[in-house]
Each structure stands twice: as structure tokens, then as C-alpha cells.
Amino acid sequence: LPLRLARKPADPRVRDLLETFDLVRLATRRPNEISVGDAQRVAVARALANGPKVILADEPTAALDAKGSAAVLAAFELAREDFHAAVIVASHEPTVPGFAGTSYHLEDGTLGRRG
């Protein structure tokens, strides 16, 4: 629906995202027919389909295996490069800060820049 409202072509971008997230096999499935991890990857793919300028992601890799997490982080990196998107991720995963250009750490109410 957001692509229709924005009058953007959906097919090429959606197909690319389905392939990026290894979701082509689920394209015709209903939400109650897929796993939690697949649903999370679908949610990320749907968010990226509009070419957003800002992405706010809260624990986007929490329910994913290593392969799914890597796909989500790679997609965020592509969004930064292709759409010039600002990507803000809140995560407890130790691998997530590695993909970020700038990383902050919140501990005991204190926010500090990492690296």
C-alpha cells in the first residue's frame, strides 16, 4: 500500500528485497503461515521497499539466526549507500555495532560514543 500511495513501481524493488532476504518462497504466504524470524525479515523488507530516508530499527536481528541477521544488516548498509538513509538501530547483539559508521553504547543511563 505505501508503494501505491507514493506511486512508486513495486515489482522490481520488491522482488530484489525478497531475494536479498531469501523470502521468494514466502511471497504468497499469509503472516500466520510463516515463522517469527521470517516475519521479522518480511517486516524489514517491507520497510525498505519504499526507499526510506530514515530507518529506526529496534532489535531488528533479535529473532534471527546468523544468516538472517547478516542479511538485515547488509540491507541496512545498502539503504545507507543507495538511499542515503540514516539508519538508527537499538540492539543488544554484539555484532550490530560493527556495521555502523558511528556507534554509541548506553550503560547505566550513560550514553557514550564507541570506537
Judge whether residue 42 has pLDDT over 90.
no
The grid coordinates listed for 41 are 525479515
Closest CA to 60 of 52, 72, 71: 72
Given pLDDT bands bounded at 50, 70 and 90, which one contains residue 108? very high
CATH code for the domain in which residue 20 is found: 3.40.50.300
User: Which domain range does residue 28 map to?
Assistant: 2-114
Closest CA to 86 of 72, 76, 96: 76
Task: Answer whether 21's CB lies under 8 Å from 45's CB.
Answer: yes
C-alpha span between 79 and 101 (Å, rounded): 13
Domain total of the chain: 1
pLDDT in tens, 75-100: 888 888 888 999 999 998 888 888 88
| Other beta carbons less than 10 A from residue 98's beta carbon | 10
As to burial, measured by CB atoms within 10 angstroms (0-12 exposed, 13-18 middle, 19+ buried), residue 71 is buried
